[in-house]
C-alpha cells in the first residue's frame, strides 16, 4: 500500500497525467510510477495511461491504446504499435475491456458531452504538432 493511501496515490497520478506542458516532469512521473507499479504500490493501469499520454504527445504510436483522438475521417481512434497483441497488453496492465469496447465507451462519452471532430482536420493536426513542439514534446532536428 502506498504511504499516501489510495486517494493520495490517485491524486498524484492525476497530476502526472495532466502535466502535459512539462514533458520532463511527466517523464519523471512515469519513471517513478513504473517503479511503484513493480512494487505493487500503484495499479499498473496508471503506468499504461501515462505511457500512452506521453507517446501521444511525442506523436508516436501508443502501446495500450488509451488516448483517442479524431482522425481524418472524423472518427475517434489511435495508432498503436503491434496491433495484434494490443488486447493482451491491455489485460496485462489491468485495463478495462478490449480496445473495441474502450473505443465504444469513449465514443459514447464524447457524444454525450457534445464532442465533435474538428472542421479542418489538417489545421487541427498542424496546431497540435505546433503545440507539442513549442513545449518540448517533439524536437526539431536541424
Place of cell 489511435: 78
Beta partners for 70? 76
3-state secondary structure 63-83: CCCCCCEECCCCCEECCECCH
Per-residue pLDDT, averaged over 112-141, amounts to: 93
Give the torsion through C-alpha atoms of 73, 67, 56, 78, to 10 deg: -30
pLDDT band at 12 (very low <50, low <70, confident <90, very high): confident
CA pair distance 26, 15, nearest whole angstrom: 9
pLDDT band at 1 (very low <50, low <70, confident <90, very high): very low
pLDDT tens string 28-56: 999 999 998 999 888 999 999 999 999 99
Q: What is the pLDDT of residue 13?
A: 79
Q: What is the pLDDT of residue 67?
A: 93
**Quick check: 4 pLDDT over 70?**
no
Per-residue pLDDT, averaged over 88-108, amounts to: 87
Amino acid at each position: 500500500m502506498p504511504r499516501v493511501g489510495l486517494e493520495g496515490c490517485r491524486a498524484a497520478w492525476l497530476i502526472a497525467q495532466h502535466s502535459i506542458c512539462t514533458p520532463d516532469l511527466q517523464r519523471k512521473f512515469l519513471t517513478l510510477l513504473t517503479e511503484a507499479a513493480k512494487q505493487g504500490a500503484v495499479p499498473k493501469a496508471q503506468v499504461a495511461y501515462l505511457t500512452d499520454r506521453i507517446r501521444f504527445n511525442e506523436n508516436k504510436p501508443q502501446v495500450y491504446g488509451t488516448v483517442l483522438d479524431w482522425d481524418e475521417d472524423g472518427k475517434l481512434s489511435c495508432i498503436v504499435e503491434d496491433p495484434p497483441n494490443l488486447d493482451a497488453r491491455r489485460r496485462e496492465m489491468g485495463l478495462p475491456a478490449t480496445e473495441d469496447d474502450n473505443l465504444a465507451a469513449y465514443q459514447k462519452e464524447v457524444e454525450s458531452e457534445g464532442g465533435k471532430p474538428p472542421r479542418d482536420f489538417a489545421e487541427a493536426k498542424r496546431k497540435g504538432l505546433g503545440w507539442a513542439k513549442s513545449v518540448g514534446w517533439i524536437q526539431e532536428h536541424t
